[in-house]
Amino acid sequence: MENVPAKQLIKDNLNIPTLPKVLVRVGQLLDDPECGTRDIGEVVSRDAPLAARVLRIANSAFYGLRERCLSTEAACSVLGLRVLRNVVMQAAVIQRFEHLRNKGFDLDGMWRHSILTAQTSAFLARRSRRGLDLEPEEFHACGLLHDIGKVVMLDSLGNDYLECFNQARTLGDRLHHAEQRRFGFAHTDVGAMLAVRWGLPTAAVSAIQFHHGPLENLRDDPVAALVANANLLAHRVADGDFVAAEATIDQETADFLELERRDVFEIVDFAAEALGQIEV
C-alpha cells in the first residue's frame, strides 16, 4: 500500500485488528510436519462458538461430505489440511466481527458475497493455465478478505460509515469513491493494510487493494485481475444476471488469464451452484 496520506489517515482513525490468535496457532500447526489434523481440531474445539461455526461450514453442501461431522477433530480429518485452513479462516474472520450484527449493515450479505468471491477466485485459479504467484487456497483468502475493509471501517467509524455506505447505495455511487471523498481512504486501502498486518503475500495485498481497479493496475497483474473478475462475476450471479456473468470475463481477459471459453461457462455454473450452498 503506497498511498502514504491514506495510510496515515487509516492509522489515525481506525483500529486494524491483528490476526485472530486461533489463525496464528493453526498456521503454526499447519507448518509443523509433526502435527496433524487432530491437533488442529483440538485447538479449534477450545473455542466453542468458533468450533460450532467450523462444523456448520464443514457440513455445508458445498463440501459434500458423505457423513455429517460431529466434532472439529472429525471435520479437520475429513476436510484435509488445505481446505481446513480456508474453513478456519472463514469461521474466525466472521466471528471476529460478529458484534457488528444488527448495526444496520447487512453483515450476512457481505459475508455471502465474500465467500462466493473466495470460492470463485479459487476455482478460476485452478482453471487458469497462466503461471500465478499464489496457490488456489491463497486466492480463496484474497476473495474472503477483499471487502473486509468495510467491516473494519464500520467497526471504528460507526454511524459515520453507515451513513456513507447507505448514501452511496441510494445515489448509485461507487462505494469506494464515496469513502474516498468522505474519509480520505477507501475500504480497499483498509483491506490492503489489514492484509499486510496479517502477513499475506504481496500479491494478495495488491489483489485486495485493486479489486475495483483502476484498469492500469489490472493489465499487468494477473492475480489482481483474477480476483477483480471473480468479485464482479459473484455480484452478477447473486443478482441472477447470468448473461452479464458470462460476459464478465471477455476474450481479452480470458487470454490474459489463459482461460478457455468453456472455463468461463463452467465458472458461472460453479458460482451459481456454490451460491446456494454457502453457510455464514
d(CA 217, CA 212): 10
The pTM of the full predicted model, rounded to 2 decimals, is 0.94
d(CA 231, CA 248): 10
What is the reported pLDDT for 42? 92
Residue 212: which residues within 8 A CB-CB, separation 6 or more? 174, 176, 188, 228, 231
What is the reported pLDDT for 279? 86
CB-neighbour burial class of residue 5 (10 A; exposed 0-12, middle 13-18, buried 19+): exposed
Q: Is the CB of residue 254 less than 8 Å from the CB of residue 32?
A: no
Which has the closest alpha carbon to 21: 119, 93, 121?
93
Q: Is the CB of residue 119 less than 8 Å from the CB of residue 137?
A: no
pLDDT band at 186 (very low <50, low <70, confident <90, very high): very high
Interval 97-147: pLDDT, tens? 999 998 889 999 999 999 999 999 999 999 999 999 999 999 999 999 999
Interval 29-42: pLDDT, tens? 988 988 888 899 99
pLDDT at position 192 over 90: yes
Q: Is the CB of residue 137 less than 8 Å from the CB of residue 163?
A: no
The domains of the chain are located at 4-17+102-275
Average pLDDT of 151-177?
A: 96
For residue 34, what is its C-alpha cell? 509433526
Map residue 35 onto helix, strand or coil: coil
pLDDT at position 3 over 90: no
Average pLDDT of 256-279?
A: 95
Mean pLDDT, the chain, rounded, equals 93
d(CA 127, CA 32): 30
Average pLDDT of 81-110?
A: 92
d(CA 276, CA 263): 20
pLDDT at position 271 over 80: yes
Q: Is the CB of residue 127 less than 8 Å from the CB of residue 222?
A: no
What is the reported pLDDT for 6? 84
Beta bridge partners of 137: none
pLDDT at position 69 over 80: yes
pLDDT band at 1 (very low <50, low <70, confident <90, very high): low
What is the reported pLDDT for 84? 87
pLDDT at position 2 over 70: no
Q: What's the CATH code, domain 4-17+102-275?
A: 1.10.3210.10
Q: Is the CB of residue 120 less than 8 Å from the CB of residue 233?
A: yes
Map residue 211 onto helix, strand or coil: strand
What is the reported pLDDT for 35? 87
For residue 142, what is its C-alpha cell? 484474497
Q: What percent of the chain has pLDDT over 70?
A: 99
Average pLDDT of 168-175?
A: 95
Per mean pLDDT, which range of 77-86, 102-111, 161-170 is the poorest?
77-86
Residue 67: which residues within 8 A CB-CB, separation 6 or more? none
What is the reported pLDDT for 4? 66
Interval 46-61: pLDDT, tens? 999 999 999 999 999 9
Q: State how far the alpha carbon of 133 is from the alpha carbons of 17, 74, 136, 137, 206, in Å.
A: 26, 32, 10, 12, 12
DSSP 132-183: -SS-HHHHHHHHHHTTHHHHHHHHHHTHHHHHHHHHHHHHT--HHHHHHHHH
The angle that helices 72-79 and 48-58 make with each other, rounded to 10 degrees, is 40
